Structure 1
Amino acid sequence: MFAAARDSGLQLSRGEYAVVTDRQTGLVQYRITLPVRGAYTQVRAFVAAALKAVPALALDELTFERRSISETQVEARIRLTLYLRPAS
């Protein structure tokens, strides 16, 4: 994901991470929330590259906010979940 961000021209400086285990399926969900700032096309390119690179990654939420109409940069909030099987 860091390579996808770098290739898209974005910097992942911080994020929120949580691990949840689904008791019914046994799958481990690694929930990732990333706030990023950049051009709309950079954010979309990052999300597409990350999803392509990591097949077990799912996009849960993608929100954009622009402070003013003349801004060329957007504030984006990307929420992803990485699904993993626990080690045996």
Structure 2
Amino acid sequence: MKMMSIASMQQSLRALRWPGLLGLAALALAALLELGLTQRWQVQSDELQATAERLQRQLRLQRASGAGPEATLQTWQLALPDADQRQQRLADLLEQGLRAGLLSSRTEHRLSIDATAGLERLRVSMPVQGGYAQLRGFIEAALRQDPALSLDSLKLRRASPAAAQIDAELVWSLHARHHGVDGSKP
């Protein structure tokens, strides 16, 4: 391979003129950025790999100690409130909607019980009207107050794109531990 002399390199650079020099500078900058990004991506990849390995070790330890999914399910069930708190929890949910300034014309409730699992679920359909910030605040406050509450679905509608009011259909589930007819715990 023939070595280029300094004089011939200067002559080649002059021949490129400013658009060519600008393109050459852009290529050099892109190469430097590529090198920096590649290194950062490698660091992030290594961190994610270490996190995945740590989680896999924890999962293996849980399985070895017998604290598998069944134990997690039992822990969750034991943390659920008793069924006799259902009416108060429902009243708290409705009151939070009112405090958030949301208008609700009606709510519908449907109770389902799985006696063999010792669980019950009160499904609450709640149409509301209000502002977007009010709705977000209500959902956040409700989920924070009651850890055994889940938001199953949310449908949003606006009368027009410029309307400040939102019509929302919220479907909640209040989960609880169910006791048999005799009051015994499962």
TM-score normalised over the length of structure 1: 0.89
Pairing partner for 2:156 from 52, 58, 64: 64
- Partner residue of 2:168 out of 76, 79, 82: 76
AA of the residue aligned to 1:48? E
Q: Distance in 1 between matches of 2:143 and 2:105?
A: 19
**Alignment length, in residue pairs?**
88
C-alpha distance in structure 2 between counterparts of 1:26 and 1:84, whole Å: 9
Q: Distance in 2 between matches of 1:12 and 1:84?
A: 25
Q: Comparing both structures, which one devotes a greater share of its residues to helix?
A: 2
Q: Which residue of 1 aligns with 2:129?
A: 37
> Which residue, out of 122, 133, 139, partners 1:47?
139
Counterpart-to-counterpart distance in 2, 1:47 and 1:18: 20
SS in structure 2 at match of 1:64:
strand
1:21 aligns with 2:109: no
Q: Secondary structure at the match of 1:61?
A: strand
The SS at the match of 2:154 is strand
Name the structure 2 match of 1:2.
94
SS at match of 1:11: coil
Cα distance per residue 1:37-66 (max 9 Å; x no partner): 000111111111111111110110011000
> Is residue 11 from structure 1 mapped to residue 77 from structure 2 by the alignment?
no
How many angstroms apart in 2 are the aligned matches of 1:75 and 1:11?
10
Distance 1:13 1:68 in 2: 21
Higher relative contact order (CA 8 A, sep 6+): 1
Residue identity (%): 36
TM-score by length of structure 2 reads: 0.44
**Which runs of structure 1 show a deviation greater than 6 angstroms over 4 or more consecutive aligned residues?**
none
**Structure 1: runs of 5+ lacking an equivalent:** none
Q: Which runs of 5+ in 2 are unaligned?
A: 1-92
Larger strand percent: 1
Amino acid at match of 2:101: G
